[in-house]
Amino acid sequence: MAKLAKFLEGTAFGLLNDFLSTFHSDDGYALPNRFEVIITRPDATKENRKVSLRCESINLPGRNLSTSTQTIYGPNREIVDGATYAEDITMTFQASSGLEERVFFEEWQALAFDERSWNVKYYDDYVSDVDIYVLDKQDTQRFGIKLKEAFPKTIGPTDLSQSANNEIIKTSVNFSFRSWETLDKLRGPRSLTDKMLDTVVNSVERNIAANLPQVLSRVDKYGIHRNIPGLPNYTSRNWLRR
């Protein structure tokens, strides 16, 4: 039992070292202050970079599986009958001197209705996609979410005060959206090009392995020749003792 306990202790310590080493690699902690937002208005050909860069805070939306209880025999089962997404997400923007950010979203809202007749416009005229990325310390996009069919539902009030001498005006906007999808390429479906490349690489590796000289197949992981005619019959253990 003592040897078994010692073996388990060594294994656990090794796993702990591997776990701690990940904190110093690119797969370490995700930081909440490293993110990027890409906002494209429906009437624009490209995203408004100035507005996107002034986004101070945002939250990644969640998702919920709605269930119903099914009772046949024995304990109840929770059966999934649909999926729901967060109702709104809030973005906070640091305002420029002319409040261009507020004007940007006011014009976006104007795409949804006529300010004179109050007639509502078509849905596709005012919805667009919004991309949210989590960045690492090298500003590389590591994870992302695309908000589908999003639009600025509410522009929050702007507080003004004589006592706020050194503060920045901030604009809060609540976005409504229909759903979201992940932008993480590693989790998405693989492209046909990637699959073809893997097939070619695997084929090349098999051909190389099949045509290796027989002498190389008798070299162990320490680079020691085993049972090769004309050479001493060193084993890895004997070689390491020398």
pLDDT band at 30 (very low <50, low <70, confident <90, very high): confident
Per-residue pLDDT tens over the stretch 162-183: 888 888 999 999 999 999 999 8
> What global pTM score does this model have?
0.65
* Residue 236: per-residue pLDDT: 40
pLDDT band at 190 (very low <50, low <70, confident <90, very high): low
pLDDT band at 44 (very low <50, low <70, confident <90, very high): confident
Collapsed DSSP state (helix, strand, coil) of residue 215: coil
Distance, in Å, from the CA atom of 234 to the CA atom of 242, rounded to the nearest integer, reads: 10
Instruction: Answer whether CATH 2.40.160 is correct for domain 28-188.
Output: no
Contact 61, 177 (CB under 8 A): yes
Per-residue pLDDT tens over the stretch 104-120: 999 999 999 998 999 99
Distance, in Å, from the CA atom of 17 to the CA atom of 59, rounded to the nearest integer, reads: 33
Number of Cβ within a 10 Å radius of residue 172: 16
Per-residue pLDDT tens over the stretch 113-146: 998 999 999 999 999 999 999 998 888 888 999 9
Tell me phi and psi for residue 70, to 5 degrees: -120, 125
Which string of DSSP letters, residue by residue, matches 39-62?
E--TT-SS--HHHHHTEEE-----
What is the rounded average pLDDT for all residues in the chain? 77
Of 217 and 151, which is predicted with more confidence? 151
Q: Token match 């990325």: residue? A: 133
Domain-by-domain residue ranges, the chain? Answer: 28-188, 193-241
For the four alpha carbons of 71, 77, 81 and 85, in that order, the dihedral sign comes to positive
* Residue 14: per-residue pLDDT: 56
Q: Token match 């949804």: residue? A: 112
Collapsed DSSP state (helix, strand, coil) of residue 87: coil
* Residue 185: per-residue pLDDT: 57
Of 104 and 46, which is predicted with more confidence? 104
* Residue 89: per-residue pLDDT: 93
